[in-house]
Structure 1
Amino acid sequence: MSNKSISIVIADDHTIVRQGLMKLLEEEKGIHVVGEAKDGREAVKKVMELTPDIVIMDIAMPELNGIEATRQIKQAGAESKIIILSMHDHSRYIRELLGLGVSGYLLKNSASRDIVKAVTSAIKGVTYLSPSISTRVIEDWLVMNKQSQEEELYNTLSNREREVFQMMVEGSSTKKIADALCLSPSTIKSHRSNIMEKLKMDNLSQLIQYAIQLGIIDIHI
């Protein structure tokens, strides 16, 4: 590791996970956690403010998930390297995130040494994939030559529509979405209408089922 301290922002909606990662990482010489975020929107804000070397990003977070947060960070031109640390190993996630240029993808059951190795690899410009991710899933990403109809429909949504879509299926009202995105309620209603039309759906129940199918939201029992 170089003499320069590696700065890290941790984005995860579970406080205990953030605290555990912070303790683990700061035990390593030359690594310093400079910020935490409890959702994707806060993660984007912290990256823009703190310009860390590394972002350790969960996927399933409220309001703005880790995939869309990663997309926004990359589109903003931030130089921070992004490492995904998630409990999910869906091939769709891996395909999309590697396509966005993340520097690592680890499962949350990874050994602590794997997390540290992913950080040091990212600094060197090397992509690190968790050993727990099966060869089959990686090969699915490498050889995939078509997407499902459901994913094709989702990909027609703009970045803003994806934000609105996630908040809709999470149960946020039009006013809450408008306030969170600093837009007018009428603009949100327009986005909702466009989302319904693009996804060829008629009601919120259908949207929720679709979001569960894509893995945008989880079912909590």
Structure 2
Amino acid sequence: MIRVLLVDDQRLVRAGLRMLCESAGDLLVVGEAAGGHEAVRLVEREVPDVVLMDLWMPGMDGITATERVLGLRPGTRVLVLTTFDDDEHLYRALAAGACGFLVKDAAPADLLDAVRRAAGGDSPFSPGVLRRLVGQAVRSHTTGPEPEPLPALTDREREVLALVGAGLSNGEIAERLHLGVTTVKTHVANLMTKTGSDNRVRLAVLAVRAGL
């Protein structure tokens, strides 16, 4: 069971997130916080696996709360869920230690998938955010050495890798290739193993730099 803490100053947002999480059999909401100070206290008491963290809150904001949470319990995974997807908030959140960044218009299934991926050590991002991260990473390496050739991949794995590089979620890849989401997850996991990529961002950067 994945223990989840909800942090958002809007009661209706927290209620909606609780209903969504409780609809999944493998997620347990262990608490709700309306601000950063309360979030830090609840993390210490409830020891959640994943914190769904809003950024814009009165008092202690989400970025400061992320830093405090991870200073207190480094093993906690903080997944940002916000209406702000601009680069300033994105990079500040990542610098504070957030493992992923989702915007609040994410599909319910994608949000649940992101919580599971965060708990499993992955770094989930909304497609648009992922594309910006990949673009920035590729631009920063344009004058560096040429990347090594890709390892031997099946035709299907190359298709999946190209779509990861385009910023598509597992659900979108499944729809595009007419596959089951579980099958796509298996392909992505195999790609990470074969390429030595420890998260989806690195995998996407590899795809773009390989010209897929």
* TM-score interval for Structure 1 and Structure 2 normalised by the shorter chain: 0.5 to 0.7
Instruction: Please give the root-mean-square deviation of Cα atoms over the aligned residues, in Å.
Output: 2.0
Which of the residues 77, 83, 100 maps onto 1:87? Answer: 83
Contact 1:91–1:137 under 8 Å retained in 2: no
1: CA distance, partners of 2:97 / 2:137: 14
Does the residue aligned with 2:135 lie in a helix, a strand or coil? Answer: helix
TM-score, normalised to structure 2's length?
A: 0.62
Which structure 2 segments of 5+ residues have no match?
141-212
Q: Find the counterpart in structure 2 of residue 77 from structure 1.
A: 73
- State whether structure 2 residue 87 is matched by structure 1 residue 96: no
Deviation at 1:84, TM superposition (A): 0.3
Deviation at 1:141, TM superposition (A): 6.9
Amino acid corresponding to residue 77 of structure 2 in structure 1:
K
Deviation per residue, 1:44-78 (Å, 9 max, x gap): 11111111011000000000100000011112234
Identity of aligned residues (%): 33
How has the CA–CA distance of structure 1 residues 59 and 84 changed in structure 2, closer, same or farther, with 3 Å as cutoff? same
Which of the residues 48, 55, 76 maps onto 1:59? Answer: 55
Which of the residues 110, 120, 123 maps onto 2:106? Answer: 110
Contact 2:64–2:96 under 8 Å retained in 1: no
Contact 2:2–2:50 under 8 Å retained in 1: yes
Q: Find the counterpart in structure 2 of residue 164 from structure 1.
A: none
2: CA distance, partners of 1:69 / 1:50: 16
How has the CA–CA distance of structure 1 residues 39 and 140 changed in structure 2, closer, same or farther, with 3 Å as cutoff? same
2: CA distance, partners of 1:53 / 1:71: 16
TM-score, normalised to structure 1's length?
A: 0.59
2: CA distance, partners of 1:49 / 1:95: 29
How has the CA–CA distance of structure 1 residues 42 and 138 changed in structure 2, closer, same or farther, with 3 Å as cutoff? farther
Deviation at 1:30, TM superposition (A): 1.3
1:1-221 correspondence runs (5 A): 5-133=1-129, 135-136=131-132, 138-140=134-136
Deviation at 1:79, TM superposition (A): 1.8
2: CA distance, partners of 1:141 / 1:10: 31
1: CA distance, partners of 2:85 / 2:116: 22
2: CA distance, partners of 1:22 / 1:105: 19
Deviation at 1:134, TM superposition (A): 6.2
Work out the number of aligned pairs and report it. 141
